Structure 1
Amino acid sequence: MTTPPTTPLADLPADLPANPWPAPRARQPISATVSLPGSKSLANRALLLAALADGPSVVRRALRSRDTLLMAAALRALGAEIDTEGDDWQVTPATWDSAAAEIDCGLAGTVMRFVPPIAALNRGRIGFDGDPHMRTRPVGQMLEALRTLGVTIEDAGRGALPFTVHGAGTVPGGVVVIDASSSSQFISALLLAGARYADGVDVRHDGKPVPSLPHIEMTVAMLRERGVQVTEEANRWRVAPGPIAALDTVIEPDLSNAAPFLALAAVSGGTVTVRDWPASTTQPGDELRDILARMGCTVDRTEAGLRVAGSGRLQGVDLDLHDIGELTPAIAALCAVAETPSRLRGVAHIRGHETDRLAALATELTALGAAVTEHPDGLDIAPAPLHGGIFHTYADHRMAHAGVILAAAVDDVLVEDIGTTSKTFPDFADAWSRLWN
């Protein structure tokens, strides 16, 4: 079986990070069937809607990760009861009577952006802060939108964490114009809370195209499943005021977390099946099927799930990833080992994700020998001989995915801080290593 790199630690550079992980190298085709944890995007929306609902709900097969536990803790701070002990999480709606609370957003954009609009329904002072990098992630546009809707917010003019929401127990709501070109979560956040506002919410986007539209479609679908009236036009979404029905929800596997596993089939010339791939889904990760096929893989559905077979040779691609930006790191890693040039574009907004992903990818790929040209909205990647080295992750789980993909194709790649994958995939390193056993 394939073994990890064997470079003695004593021979590694003196500035080596304290916890480099010798990710396994695929020296022969890998064949495996994989079960993924649940979708973070679906789980955090389901938890928030359950806290707003008109009765108790169950979130089944809930993802247990840092992001979802932070969301559960935030909703508890607002008066919800959430039992996270088992695989199925019981949720009793919030009471909205906390006199004061502090919300830790960690590195979870869904907590930083989805919780403030519902914190305004509380009768008290709710403070928000998070990890140091979260203080640089965009949220100012949404805070201004909440002020337009009648919410009192203190942020000392930063338009960023830390900030405080002063809840009055009700929010007038109504029409709001927002530039959501840096994050679709701004719109989802307002829609998720809108049914509980006195006049609902009428969100109008004014700016460059909204990125990651599938995530807004996910939000709209989940609201409608709970009986909420949502109407859509070009760059406009309206949510009517009214109850949010309690609903037991089964969380789909996280398809974006499938990226490194399916990529392993592509780079090793093996076959990987991801169990329980949904026949229909709003998850952006479903686009992996088309992308991998365009790069030269065979992609089909079986009774077990989605199967990807690689030939060991990859073709470059020209892709607009605007709606599926979270897949960019994994795709960039595949492009770095492809036989023809690639262009990845339309993803300027991912500079505001857990890290500036475009700059980070350009830096780390170049450090391993890749020929990368960084553009304001993407990357050009040309074929070039790659070599080993340290792949830094910048506390970003998607960067870690890119690192392990490269390590599977290139000798002696060490991935710094593999533990950052716990954001959406606890025990990722163990699950990845088991593929070689």
Structure 2
Amino acid sequence: MTVNPAHTALWPAPHASGAVDATVHVPGSKSVTNRALVLAALASEPGWLRRPLRSRDTLLMAEALRTMGVEIEEGVGPEGTGEFWRVIPAGLRGPATVDVGNAGTVMRFLPPVATLADGTVRFDGDPRSYERPLHGVIDALRALGARIDDDGRGALPMTVHGGGALEGGPVEIDASSSSQFVSSLLLSGPRFNQGVEVRHNGSALPSMPHIRMTVDMLRAVGAQVDTPESGGEPNVWRVTPGALLGRDLTIEPDLSNAQPFLAAALVTGGKVVIPDWPSRTTQPGDRLREIFTDMGGSCELTDYGLVFTGSGAVHGIDVDLGEVGELTPGIAAVAALADSPSTLRGVAHLRLHETDRLAALTKEINELGGDVTETADGLHIRPRRLHGGVFHTYEDHRMATAGAIIGLAVEGVQIENVATTAKTLPDFPDLWTGMLGA
């Protein structure tokens, strides 16, 4: 077996010699881009995505839809408008083979789409994708009338036998391991003959902002969605069958990917500006304004964007991150550099992400001299003086950016496989060194 040299290469994490002062243009949101691609592919007319994120996860989504017959044209608009994708819906068809990589949105959002295809669609991906739970989607689709071959694994690889339509209707699932189970059914629900009624039956749902994002985007393309927030039953979402409209959508910056840059301002006592930060958004990354302010920074939302300033001090925090679990690696990195202990709670589901993020963060921070312990649902972090060393990433983009944050304050940190950041944040090394004026 050959090993990609990028996976073993060590990247010397830049050390900050002083306070950061930079404006960083963060690329578009992966979560919004991939939802928009699915909705545009299921629409009854063409749509436009402007300033989409071009990263491994979104390119995998676009290519997967193309293999099922959707046309996606790429181009560049007039100066200042950036790139665009024009999505032209077509009759979904097989046979097709979808490479999901290790993208949760691709492996979970597209099997419901595949049930609408005329023919078989096989799903495969990276070795880690075989370990990530898919049972919530597979079991639900079978209950709604789909035929799926997975050899009883509840995971990849698998084949969906599309029948050109799906009956749909009510279904009960346990989505406590991933909110994407709910979103996946809702996104395709308008195209099911009876729509869909998803009832979550399990422990607390993680990452609720992502479900709210799905609902908002469905409503924006004409779908009728009833939710617990709109007066419906708790833990029940209903989507009425109907045609979806093509839209001209400009993708918001990825606020979760802004995290390492805001963290840089916090840990160096500097200032970072993120242009085009939305005044209203369902993105979980918007919570960073509150969390990083509690940890010692201050922020101002202007017409231009978000201005975040560090105070020169970093404080520990006790916080429930259940709704914003993807922010945990970056917050843990900052907490390891704080002046008091931190407890990060509500994120047991991170053990099932790109890697077991709780175990990985504990091991890597401790190997740099830290004092991190896992709890049942999170981490307890007691700051200690850290030293240089190799920070392994486990092919997890958020582990790589967490290591880069620590490297700002600790000399000699080397990030293994920084190229994994291309999953959602292309050109991260150049953005990072550019922020530091290098």
Q: Select 2:175's aligned residue among 167, 180, 183.
A: 180
Instruction: Output the aligned Cα RMSD.
Output: 1.1
Q: Distance in 2 between matches of 1:142 and 1:168?
A: 17
CA distances 1:173-220 after superposition (whole Å, capped 9, x unpaired): 000000000000000000000000000000000000110000000000
CA distance in 2, matches of 1:17, 1:336: 25
Query: Which of residues 122, 125, 134 is equivalent to 1:139?
Result: 134
How far apart, in 1, do the equivalents of 2:432 and 2:375 lie?
32
**Residues 352-367 of structure 1: pairs in structure 2 closer than 5 A:** 352-367=352-367
Deviations 1:263-282 (A, max 9, x none): 00001111001111000000
Which residue is 1:396 aligned to?
396
Residue in structure 1 matching 2:108, options 96, 113, 116: 113
Tell me how far apart the structure 1 counterparts of residues 8 and 284 of structure 2 sit (CA, whole Å). 34
State the match for 1:62 in structure 2: 52
Taking the TM superposition and a 5 Å limit, the aligned residue runs for 1:77-156 are: 77-86=67-76, 87-98=83-94, 100-156=95-151
Structure 1 residue runs of 4+, over 3 Å off? Answer: none
1:6-85 alignment, distance < 5 Å? 18-85=8-75
2:217 to 184, 202, 222: 222
Deviations along 1:124-162, whole A, 9 cap, x unmatched?
A: 010001001000001112100000000000000011000
Cα deviation, residue 17, structure 1? 7.6
Q: Partner of 2:343: helix, strand, or coil?
A: strand
1:303 Cα offset (Å): 3.5
**Aligned letter for 1:40?**
K
Aligned sequence identity (%): 57
* Partner Cα separation in structure 2 for residue 238 and residue 35 of structure 1: 37
Report how far residue 242 of structure 1 moved. 0.5
Q: Distance in 1 between matches of 2:68 and 2:196?
A: 21
Alignment match, 2:79: none
**How far apart, in 1, do the equivalents of 2:244 and 2:136 lie?**
26
Separation in 2 of the partners of 1:93 and 1:198?
18
TM-score (ref. length: structure 1): 0.95
Structure 1 regions of 5+ residues with no counterpart?
Answer: 1-15
Instruction: Give the distance between the partners of 1:116 and 1:225, measured in 2 at CA.
Output: 23
Q: In the alignment, is the contact (CA less than 8 A) between 1:59 and 1:89 conserved in 2? A: yes
Distance 1:18 1:96, change over 3 A: closer
Which residue in the other structure is 1:274 paired with?
Answer: 274
Task: Tell me the residue number matched to 2:348.
Answer: 348
Contact 2:362 2:372 in 1 (8 A): yes
Whether the 8 Å CA contact 1:75–1:94 is kept in 2: the answer is no
Q: Deviations over 1:346-388 (max 9, x none)?
A: 0001111100000000000100111111112100001211111
Query: Pick from 184, 198, 201: which aligns with 1:203?
Result: 198
- Specify the code of the residue in structure 2 equivalent to 1:113: R
Gap regions ≥5 residues in structure 2:
1-5, 77-82, 229-233
Q: Indicate how the Cα distance of structure 1 residues 17 and 119 shifts in structure 2: closer, same or farther if over 3 A, else same.
A: closer
User: Per the alignment, in what secondary structure is the counterpart of residue 72 of structure 2?
Assistant: strand
2:257 corresponds to? 257
| Corresponding letter in the other structure for 2:338 | A
Report SS of the residue matched to 2:244.
coil
**How many residues matched?**
421
Aligned to 1:192: 187
